[in-house]
Structure 1
Amino acid sequence: MRHLRGNLTTLVTTVLALALLGVAAGFVWSALAPVSQYVITDTGPELVDLETQTLIQADGWFAVVGLVCGLLSGVAAYLLARRRPVAALLGLAGGGLLAGYIALLVGSSAKGTIHASGPGGVATTASLGLTAHGVMFAWPVAATGIFWVVEFVVTYRLRGQA
């Protein structure tokens, strides 16, 4: 029973810690990613520049922030919870997904203001969003991957010493 309680504590603590880190990651993404310029017309919002790369750049910055946070959280989880690897990995996977979603919510609500109005409509910047939803997996994949890499390196060295 004590073993189960310890695993559950590790799992929940990891998920909650990553959820809090997701809030910070959302603000970082919001600060780094460019926003797209839209014009609000009678038919709805339309991109000012149809050839803009800002939508792709926002996805790229989200992936970079997710990868960095995943690498840091994977190493931290290994250092703090290596005695409970299954619980730590489950926490990294679930918590990484949750943190990515929270980062998306926070980052997408941190930007978006009306800049000017004109005869063709109201010019505005839209809130950030993702067009490539696969980048949501950057955090949990990086976190679990680095956990296993560190585990392999450490156990490989220990086997070589024996």
Structure 2
Amino acid sequence: MSLHLSSARGTARRVVLSCDVAGCAVQVEPPPIESWRNDADARVWARDHAAGWTHDPVRRTDYCPAHAAFSVAPAAGAVAPRPTMTARDNAGNPLNRDEYAEQLRKQLAGDRPVTGAPGAVTTAQAAIAARLLDELAGVYHGESIGTLAHEVATLLDRAAVVDGGMARGGEPA
């Protein structure tokens, strides 16, 4: 829950509303009031006094005005926005996972093989990266970014088998 209730002994309780988009540091603290009947009332009061903020009751998340679109249900047939956790645009906003996967696919298609360059990935590193990508593929199963993660994991597995005799899971073949 992004709503934080706090109080010091005998002072008015504070309510701080935080945006639930990963990496967004926006918070708002509506003017304090002396007391509420219960925490649910405090939450309702805070949300009512946070101008431009939206709340998704299903996911129990709150969004600042810049990210309010994440709480709006998509139109019938439209795909809901699926933000990345760490990848950001120049303004610091999360990228759409499907668009990010397409961008990565284009980068992968234009890649050239490295031949004996210093700092090349070892067989063990490739096997570990493949396992991490498989885990990512499981988290985003059915999404384009999950499919891409699985495809790259398969490429790394093939390279590890050819270069170092490693099988899936990092065990010797």
The answer, yes or no, to whether TM exceeds 0.5 is no
More helix by share: 1
The TM-score normalised by the length of structure 2 is 0.26
Please say which structure displays the higher CA radius of gyration.
2
The TM-score normalised by the length of structure 1 is 0.28
Which of the pair has the greater relative contact order for Cα pairs under 8 Å at 6+ separation?
A: 1
